[in-house]
Chain A
């Protein structure tokens, strides 16, 4: 497995996947920090809560398409070079699927790390007066990874199944759009949209006062049952995706 992973690493050279990962992570951090340039006392008093509320929303906009691009970059060379036919005589198809998945998860992990570091950096740069709750930071990191893993699995499967990379990208674009719009709907509907899950586990809710035009963030209970159900669905998508790839004629 390690040798196969190393081979994937070598194949990824000069593909500029790192540039996409870095650009996504940087953009998310800048976008999150952007709102705090002219923050007042009340904004700073709930700075971290604000970020824990807003960043999942930015993730919903950026990551479905971003992860679609990463998955496509990591899978496209096999399609372009028509290498699957030869490759699958040397290595098990299941292993190839897993190696590509691990490669993609590495990039997802880096984005999550950049975003988490960005939260800490924003707190230090803008002097948030709110005390950072490590539990919320860990939850943010974990839920971003979980939701991203589901989306990445979906995109990788599509990128490997479809010869034309246009289709997975269209799905990614639709995912960004549908995920964002579904958040304006009742939870029963938005939970049917997998791309909205970047926001479904957020431990912070917002109360907007129309008269004072002030927003107040308050904690809410973490939906453990929903999260476990989502993890089970992710495992299901993994099994189905792998099965589809293994059964695909090259």
Chain B
């Protein structure tokens, strides 16, 4: 049933310009971050690590969470419009399968975006003549960021389901990202799903922000994903059709 639901979600996304956002938005940090790196070589130590800090400087802090939010809001917008909600509520499909299918599609969207970020990072490094292969830690940070995206996707799917508006959950993710800079600075990053993205991607830091804290990080990611996944299922079970 889950596979069938995922296939349905995929069909709903056909001809959507969501993929354009997924491809276009990471181009900005890749191009501009690389030029910024080249322009500041007097201050920065040349190397892959500093190129990474320049490319993830704003992407992880401000824009990756709204990007996930955009995808989640779009997935639920289809249900909120044209009386589709009633069709959803009366469909012979278990609620958990609907929620999990949307989560799988949102996570796949972010996974592809992160892969694209990684490819652009490697390509931009090679284009400016960076020597040697990229450090494995950076690929690890990309993976950690992707996992944190699962927590953000779960939270945003819940918000987009509960708020019948396309734009409000996106602005909430943006505000959440900005607020999370303060939360991270206070050392409370594990309490915010948006801060997990920053910690995971090691945004604008040379030293590992999760040194010795990988397990608490993974636990926080799993905790947010499970909590908001369950909340979504319970909420959807209790919600009635809209006459």
> CB within 8 Å of B: which residues of A?
16, 20, 23, 27, 31, 34, 61-62, 65-66, 68-69, 72-73, 76, 80, 164-167, 169-170, 173-174, 176-178, 180-182, 184-185
Q: How distant is B130 from chain A, measured CB to nearest CB, in Å?
A: 20
Is B178 within 8 A of A184, CB to CB? no
* CB-CB nearest in chain A for B32: A181
Contacts A/B (CB < 8 Å), 24 sampled = A16-B168, A20-B167, A23-B175, A27-B178, A69-B167, A69-B171, A73-B165, A73-B168, A76-B166, A80-B81, A164-B17, A165-B77, A166-B18, A166-B70, A166-B77, A170-B24, A170-B25, A176-B63, A177-B63, A178-B32, A180-B62, A181-B33, A184-B35, A184-B39
Once the chains bind, are B17 and A170 in contact (CB under 8 Å)? yes
Q: Please give, as numbers and ranges, the residues of chain B lying within 8 Å of A34 by CB-CB distance.
A: 182
- Bound-state Cα–Cα, A31 to B185, Å: 14
A93 to B152, CA, bound (A): 41
* 8 Å CB contact of A169 from B24, B36, B59, B70: B70
User: How large, as a class, is the contact surface on chain B?
Assistant: 35 or more
Contact (Cβ within 8 A) A181 B36? yes
A interface, over-half SS: helix
A174: B residues at CB distance < 8 A: 24-25, 28
Complex Cα spacing A80 to B167, Å: 13
The 9 closest A-B pairs by CB, nearest first: A181-B32, A69-B167, A170-B21, A69-B171, A177-B28, A72-B167, A184-B36, A165-B166, A177-B63
A34-B182, A62-B178, A177-B25 are contacts. A169–B32 as well, Cβ < 8 Å? Answer: no
Closest residue on chain B to residue A210 by CB atoms: B43
Residue in A closest to B43 when the chains form the complex, CB atoms? A210
Whether A167 contacts B170 by the Cβ 8 Å rule is no
B residues within 8 A CB of A62?
Answer: 174, 178
A69 touches B168 (CB 8 A): yes
Q: Is B58 an interface residue (CB 8 A)?
A: yes
B residues 21-39 touching A (CB-CB < 8 Å): 21, 24-25, 28-29, 32-33, 35-36, 39
Q: Does B229 contact A (CB under 8 A)?
A: no
Q: Which residue of B lies closest to A162 (CB)?
A: B17
Asked if B107 lies at the interface with its beta carbon under 8 angstroms from chain A, I say no
Q: How many A-B residue pairs have CB under 8 A?
A: 95
Residues of chain A contacted by B175 (CB below 8 angstroms): 23, 27
| B70 and A167 contact, CB distance less than 8 A | no
User: B206 contacts the other chain (Cβ, under 8 Å)?
Assistant: no
A181 engages B171 (CB within 8 Å): no
Residues on the B chain within 8 Å of A73, using CB: 165, 167-168
**B32/A182 in contact, CB under 8 A:** yes
B136 contacts partner chain A, Cβ-Cβ < 8 Å: no
Q: How far is the CA of A103 from the CA of B154 in the complex (A)?
A: 34
B46 CB to nearest A CB, Å? 18
Q: Which residues of B contact A167 (CB under 8 A)?
A: 17
Cα distance A36–B79 when bound, in Å?
45
Q: Give the residue of A66, A80, A165, A166 whose beta carbon is less than 8 angstroms from that of B171.
A: A66
Q: Within the assembled complex, what's the spacing in Å between the Cα atoms of A186 and B24?
A: 23
Chain A residues with Cβ under 8 A from B193's Cβ? none
Is A166 in contact with B17, judged by CB distance below 8 angstroms? yes
- Selected from A16, A166, A181, the residue in CB contact (under 8 A) with B16 is A166
* B74 A166 Cβ-Cβ under 8 A: yes
Docked complex Cα distance between A27 and B166 (Å): 21
Which residues of B are found within 8 Å of A23, using beta-carbon distances? Answer: 171, 175
For A73, give the chain B residue with the smallest CB separation.
B167
Which single member of B16, B20, B35, B166 contacts A185 (CB below 8 Å)? B35
Q: How far, in whole Å, are A32 and B63 apart by their CA atoms in the complex?
A: 20
Residues of A within 8 A of B67 (CB): 173
Asked if B81 contacts A31 (CB within 8 A), the reply is: no
- Bound together, the chains give a CA A73 to CA B168 distance in angstroms of 9
Q: Whole-angstrom distance from the CB of B112 to the nearest CB of chain A? A: 16
